[in-house]
Structure 1
Amino acid sequence: MTPTEKRASGNPVKQAEINLTVKQQREQRRQEKLAEYQKQLAKRRRSKLVWWAVGITGALVVVAVVVASFVFAPAPAVQYEAGGDGAEIEGVETFTNETLHVEDPVDYPQSPPAGGAHNPAWLNCGIYSEPQQNENAVHSLEHGAVWVTYDASRVTGEELDALKAEMPSSYVILSPYEDLDSPIVISAWNAQLKLDSAADERIPQFFEEYWRNQNVPEPSATCSGAIDGPGKE
């Protein structure tokens, strides 16, 4: 029996495998490896696309956050120079009040007061949602602060926001005040202005003249480090 005859088999599948030449077997293995390589290559490409998509999405999120931080950031506080140049502002009343430290309540000639005897402890400057003690706020006026008071029943919502937008970052007190005869009253040491609207152009004019006025009794004194009144924001 020849070698070929010895390799013959009665099983068709087995016989087909036997009949493959060495060259055919190598070609089959090469094709299998090529197919596996192409499969892995496609997988890596899909993975790169996913990471590119993730990276681009992350970058867009960062850009959106940065843009939003500028768009929705609160507007910077208005800046004024220390006043006291003697500018005349229509409607401003001026007074002559003494400066004296007292422990007892004071009956002030103006309402809100615009100077006079006051408590030894000043009111820390800032925005308050509740009325404040006259005697402490007047001490802050002595240091060059401006006290902005408003009728909480008439100045609300957007009107109150507009009023806050005129406030500098320091040396100012904003608080509601009971029984005002005008919606808004702005007071400095020995000066006062009554207003009907937060849009009145005289508000920044008043600040330019009386904010940190160098003619107050204590022009270089601080407006912090003493008493926080109720409702400080």
Structure 2
Amino acid sequence: TVAVVNDPAPQAREDIEITGLETFEDLDAEHVSTPVDYDQEPPVGGTHSSTWLNCGTYTQEVPEENAVHSLEHGAIWVTYDPETVPQDQVDTLQSALPETYVVLSPYQDMDSPITLSAWGAQVALETPGDERVEQFVNKYWQSPNAPEPGASCIGGLDAPGLAS
């Protein structure tokens, strides 16, 4: 289990180095009601739906535009390829994540089995036991780098497949 306090005040944690981390600058935070074609898969920010996705664990793919809005609020979006990651590894991954401000969902055709995304940051992983899961959570969960850190992660859209 990750050693973080639930719902901390957003705080900068720039001193954590994460091998393989990609960062993306100058992401637009405009709200739209149309589909968005993102440069990254899964996306890490940019134009998105005006309705955020309720944080939780999903058994089906979620709408990207709503998940990006959750990233805007300081959530982490953890995606896994359902073709290559068995359920026991999904369970291991879920147990390593905070209970709030996280979206966990399948995502087809990723370049890696697991991808962790936050607003403007992403890292690809092979296994849920990778130490970078904890590093990424500690650096980006409720990060002030998100445009609206601490804004609600509930009261938005429940996409199909919401398990918890």
Q: TM-score, with normalisation over the residues of structure 1?
A: 0.65
Match of 1:98 among 28, 36, 59: 28
* Unaligned ranges ≥5, structure 2: none
What is the CA-CA distance between 1:185 and the residue it aligns to?
A: 0.4
Q: Relative to total residues, which structure has the larger helix share, 1 or 2?
A: 1
Q: Which amino acid aligns with 2:106?
A: P
SS in 1 for 2:48: coil
* Unaligned ranges ≥5, structure 1: 1-76
Q: Which structure is richer in relative contact order (CA contacts within 8 A, separation 6 or more)?
A: 2
- Residue number in structure 2 paired with 1:141: 71
Cα deviation 1:128-182 (Å, max 9, x = unaligned): 0000000000000000000000000111132111111111110000000011010
The reply to whether residue 164 of structure 1 matches residue 94 of structure 2 is yes
In 2, distance between residues paired with 1:221 and 1:79? 22
Distance 1:90 1:166, change over 3 A: same
Work out the percentage of aligned pairs sharing the same amino acid. Answer: 50
Distance 1:184 1:221, change over 3 A: same
Match of 2:142 among 199, 208, 212: 212
- Runs ≥4 in structure 1, deviation > 4 angstroms? none
Q: Relative to total residues, which structure has the larger strand share, 1 or 2?
A: 2
In 2, distance between residues paired with 1:153 and 1:170? 26
CA RMSD of aligned residues (A): 1.2
- Residue number in structure 1 paired with 2:4: 80
SS in 2 for 1:173: strand
Cα deviation 1:55-114 (Å, max 9, x = unaligned): xxxxxxxxxxxxxxxxxxxxxx64425553212211110002111101111111110000
In 2, distance between residues paired with 1:121 and 1:80? 27
Distance 1:79 1:126, change over 3 A: farther
- Residue number in structure 2 paired with 1:117: 47
Q: TM-score, with normalisation over the residues of structure 2?
A: 0.92
SS in 1 for 2:49: coil
Check the 8 A contact 2:2/2:134 in 1, yes or no: no
In 1, distance between residues paired with 2:34 and 2:94? 32
In 1, distance between residues paired with 2:89 and 2:12? 28
Which has the greater radius of gyration?
1
